[in-house]
Amino acid sequence: MNALGDAGYRRLLVGGLRAASFYRKREVINPAVSVHATLADDSADCWFGYYDVPATNPSGTMQLCLAVRSEGEPASLMLSAVDGTGMREIAKTSAWCWQMGCRAQWFREDTVLFNDFDGSKFISRVVGVDGRELASYPFPVYALSRDCRYAFYPDFTILGRLRPGYGYTNVDVDFNRYVHDSLNGIWRGDFEDSSIACILTMTQIEEIDPPGDLLDGSSYVNHISACPYAERLMFFHLWKEPSGRLRNHVVIIDHDGIPINVLSDFTRASHYVWKDERHLLLTVLSGSACTYRLYDVETGDFDELPQLSADGHPSYVGDGLFVTDTYPDHLGMQHVLLCSEHGVLAELATVYHNPSMVGEHRCDCHPRYSSGHLSFDSVEGSRRTQHVMRVEFGPATVASLEASSEDKSDLVRIYKSLCNTREILWPKLAFSRLTNSALKAHLRLYRLTHGRGGKLGVIRNHNVLLERYGAWVSPQATIGKRFRMMHVLGICLGSGTVIGDDCILYQQVTIGKGDNAGFPTLGDGVIVYAGAKIIGNVTIGDGAVIGANAVVTRDVPAHAVVVGANRVIRLVDAPRRPEAGEGGSSCH
C-alpha cells in the first residue's frame, strides 16, 4: 500500500470490485425528476462547493459555479441559466479552496457575494449578474446573518493550514507564532459600516468549551452557520488530542458571542443543518458509529434518526424532508437521497466518483436546494461538474419519487452498509460490509414478502431466514416500506401481522396470534425493543415505543411508551414541524 499510495490503492480496489461484479460506470437520475442540466467544461473543474449556501438565485432562474483550470490560478466565478445555457464569467477570485469554493452566495436577487484576496488580506466583494463590481468589504465571509447585515468568519489562514481544503493558503506566515496570535477565533464584519469585531477569541472559546487533552496549537474554528430563523449561530470547535485523533464540539452562541449551549455528547460532529430556530440536525460519530441526530440547541436533548447511519451532507427541502448524500461506496458510486426523519424515501441520483481524487481533492456531492432546484457536485473523468435538477418536494412529487424507488427501497435503505470512505482503503472493512449478514437477511425478507422467485422462492427464502438467521417470518405477513431488523436473531412474525412503514424490530421479538382471533397491526414508525411480545388482535399506534421484554395484549395509543405488561408509562408528543412560511431569512 505504501508503494501504491492511497489514490493508487483506492483505484486498484474499486476497479477490482467493479470488475468482479461486472459493474459499468454510469450515472442514474431518478425518472421522477423533471429537469437535469450539467455545468461542465472539458478543460476546467466546474463545481460550487459546500452545501450550506444556495447556488440558485431566489427566483430560480440563475445558477452559480466556479471554474478552475489550474490549481495555482485564480478561479472564475461563473453564472448560467439553470438549464446550463449561457454560462459566462462574472468575476475572478484568488481566495478559493476545493471544499468551500470561495463561499459564493446570492446577496440579493441579482447580486453575488464572494471572498477574494487583495494581495495583503482576505476581503469580500459584491458583483452584479452583469459582472460589475458594486461593493467590497475589508473582511471575508463564512456565514451570513439572516438580515444580511453581518458576516461571521474565522481566520482563513489558520483554517487553511489546520484543515486543508477548507481555508485559504495565500498568506505565507510563521505558523507556529501565527496560530497563537489573537487572530484565532470568530470575527464579525458589519456590511453597514464595514467595521470588524472579534466576538470570541480562541482563549474565550476554550473557556466556554474546555477541550481536555489537546495538542498544542491544534485548536481552531470551522463550519460557522448562522441560523436562518433566529439571531444565533453555531460553529465547530476542533482540536487534536496528543494521540493525533481529531475531536470537536458544536458551540451555539448569539450574534454578540454570548454562549447559549455546547453540544458535546459524541466523539466528533461532521455536518449540520438548521431545521428551525431551535433544532439543529447533525451527523455525528459516536465511537465507530455514525448517526443523524436532531438536537434541541437550548437543552441539548436530541432525537436519533434510527435508519440513517452513514455520514452525509443534509439540507432541508420541505416539511420534515431533507436531502443528503453518501461518500463513495465499494464500487465508487455516490448516492443523493431524499429522506424523512424516519429514513430514506428515495434515491434521487447515483454518480461515479473517480477513486484517484482523495483528501482535499475529493469531490463530495454536497446537495443543496433552493427555489425549486436541487444542485450537487460530481466528477466526470478527472474533472468536477455541477448537476442541476428541477424538483418541488410537494406531496405528489414525494409520492412519485417513492414509487419510482419502491422496488429498490431495501437496497437504498441499507446504503449505510456500503458507504464509508474508510472501507475503500481497508479490505477487511470492505469485505465485512460486503458480506454483512443483516444486509443479506433484509434481502431475503424482501424477496419473501414480495413473492420473488414464485412459490419455490418463497419456500427457500423462508427456510434460509429460519435456518441461517433464526427468524420465523410468515410469507403472509404484510410489511411496510423501510422496515428494519436491527438484530435478526429470534424474530417471529405471524401470518396475519401487519407492520407499517419505518418500523424497527430488535432481536427476540414475537408478533403473532393470541387466544383472541386476529393478529397485531403496527402503525408507522413503531420501535419494538429486544424480547418484546405483541400478541392478538391489537393495534399499536404510530410512533409508539415498546420496551424490552414488554408484553402487549391491548391496544396502544400513538406515541406511547410501553413497558412491562401493558403498562403505558408516558405519551410522547409528535415531533414539532415548522409551519409553511415560518421563520426564514430576509435575504437568500
What is the mean predicted confidence (pLDDT) over 248-256?
Answer: 97
Instruction: For residue 440, count CB atoms less than 10 angstroms from its CB and return exposed for 0-12, middle for 13-18, buried for 19 or more.
Output: middle
> Contact at 8 Å (CB) between 321 and 338?
yes
| In the predicted structure, residue 317 carries a pLDDT above the cut 80 | yes
**Which is more confident, 286 or 254?**
254
| In the predicted structure, residue 314 carries a pLDDT above the cut 80 | yes
Bridge partners of 75, per DSSP, are: 93
Share of the chain above pLDDT 70, in %: 88
**Which is more confident, 351 or 5?**
351
Lowest mean pLDDT among 1-10, 23-32, 418-427, 517-526: 418-427
> Contact at 8 Å (CB) between 549 and 567?
no
Share of the chain above pLDDT 90, in %: 53
414-464: per-residue pLDDT in tens? 444 444 434 444 444 444 444 456 667 877 887 787 777 788 888 888 888
514-571: per-residue pLDDT in tens? 777 789 999 998 999 999 999 999 999 999 999 999 999 999 999 899 999 888 877 6
- Where is 405: in which H helix or E strand? helix 395-405
The Cα 270–Cα 416 span in angstroms is 16
What is the mean predicted confidence (pLDDT) over 290-316?
Answer: 91
Residue type, 165: G
The Cα 496–Cα 314 span in angstroms is 38
- pTM (2 decimals)? 0.76
> Contact at 8 Å (CB) between 273 and 52?
yes
pLDDT computed for residue 481 by the predictor: 80
| In the predicted structure, residue 124 carries a pLDDT above the cut 70 | yes
Bridge partners of 60, per DSSP, are: none
Confidence of residue 30 (pLDDT cuts 50, 70, 90): confident
What is the mean predicted confidence (pLDDT) over 256-276?
Answer: 95
**Which is more confident, 344 or 374?**
374
What is the mean predicted confidence (pLDDT) over 457-483?
Answer: 86
The Cα 446–Cα 411 span in angstroms is 10
The Cα 546–Cα 539 span in angstroms is 12
| In the predicted structure, residue 194 carries a pLDDT above the cut 80 | yes
| In the predicted structure, residue 75 carries a pLDDT above the cut 80 | yes
pLDDT computed for residue 131 by the predictor: 95
pLDDT computed for residue 182 by the predictor: 74
**Which is more confident, 566 or 223?**
223
What is the mean predicted confidence (pLDDT) over 52-77?
Answer: 93
Non-local CB neighbours of 222 within 8 Å, separated by 6+ positions: 154, 159, 163, 166, 235, 236, 238
What grid cell was written down for 292?
Answer: 443523524
**Which is more confident, 5 or 2?**
5
> Contact at 8 Å (CB) between 93 and 68?
no
The Cα 520–Cα 544 span in angstroms is 14
**Which is more confident, 582 or 449?**
449
Lowest mean pLDDT among 214-223, 285-294, 358-367, 519-528: 285-294
The Cα 353–Cα 343 span in angstroms is 24
The Cα 28–Cα 32 span in angstroms is 12
The Cα 400–Cα 564 span in angstroms is 41
204-213: per-residue pLDDT in tens? 999 999 988 8
**Which is more confident, 37 or 233?**
233
3-state secondary structure 557-576: CCCEEEECECEEEEECCCCC
Half-sphere exposure of 486 (CA within 13 A, CB side): 17
Listing DSSP states for 501-524 in one string gives: TT-EE-TT-EEE--SSSS--EE-T
| In the predicted structure, residue 411 carries a pLDDT above the cut 50 | no
When the pLDDT of each residue in the chain is averaged and rounded to a whole number, the result is 85
Most confident residue range from 32-41, 239-248, 353-362, 527-536: 527-536
What is the mean predicted confidence (pLDDT) over 220-228?
Answer: 96
| In the predicted structure, residue 118 carries a pLDDT above the cut 70 | yes
CATH class of 437-571: mainly beta
The Cα 95–Cα 103 span in angstroms is 9
> Contact at 8 Å (CB) between 447 and 461?
yes
> Contact at 8 Å (CB) between 459 and 415?
no
Confidence of residue 47 (pLDDT cuts 50, 70, 90): very high
What grid cell was written down for 343?
Answer: 429514513
